[in-house]
């Protein structure tokens, strides 16, 4: 997450600016105790919610996707649902940064709106945290390549 985003999220959380969360009661902080939600939990929820939106091909930058591809080839290794997702989680609020690879032909502005809406809804419903911002960075466009299909067909023929 960028330092500006982190500073903004912390400022919003401490001052109660934004949607005025300071006056709103929280299900996570009560007289009977406090519920703490780990960053990794919010990261996974955001990653799954972003992938649910049609037009999102993958999450993460080139390096993260390359490491993920290597990890997928290792038996017993699990893929990272939180790949391409950075979060900042406080007591009552969360901020999210996403790196997306979109499918060619998708209207990126409309996709960003849908992803943002889905991520906010999922996090707020599952955790009770208020999502103060979801920043989206589109870093690649996926184009289905015919040469991949031809190469795999060629490999099947030769034994």
Claim: this prediction has a pTM higher than 0.95 = no
pLDDT value at position 29? 84
Q: Which residues of the chain have pLDDT under 70?
A: 1-25, 62-79, 146-159
For residues 159 and 155, what is the distance between their CA atoms, to the nearest angstrom? Answer: 7
Could you report the per-residue pLDDT of 33-56, keeping only the tens digit for each?
989 999 999 999 999 999 999 999
């Amino acid at each position: 997450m960028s330092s500006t985003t982190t500073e903004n999220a912390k400022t919003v959380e401490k001052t109660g600016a934004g949607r005025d969360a300071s006056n709103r009661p929280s299900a996570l902080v009560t007289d009977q105790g406090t519920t703490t939600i780990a960053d990794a939990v919010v990261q996974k929820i955001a990653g799954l919610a972003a992938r649910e939106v049609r037009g999102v091909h993958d999450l993460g930058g080139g390096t993260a996707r390359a490491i993920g591809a290597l990890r997928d080839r290792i038996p017993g290794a699990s893929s990272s649902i939180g790949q391409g997702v950075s979060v900042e989680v406080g007591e009552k609020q969360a901020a999210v940064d996403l790196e997306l690879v979109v499918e060619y032909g998708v209207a990126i502005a409309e996709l960003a709106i849908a992803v943002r809406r889905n991520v906010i809804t999922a996090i707020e419903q599952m955790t009770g945290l208020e999502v103060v911002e979801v920043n989206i960075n589109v870093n690649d466009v996926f184009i289905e390549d015919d040469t991949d299909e031809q190469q795999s067909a060629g490999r099947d023929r030769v034994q």
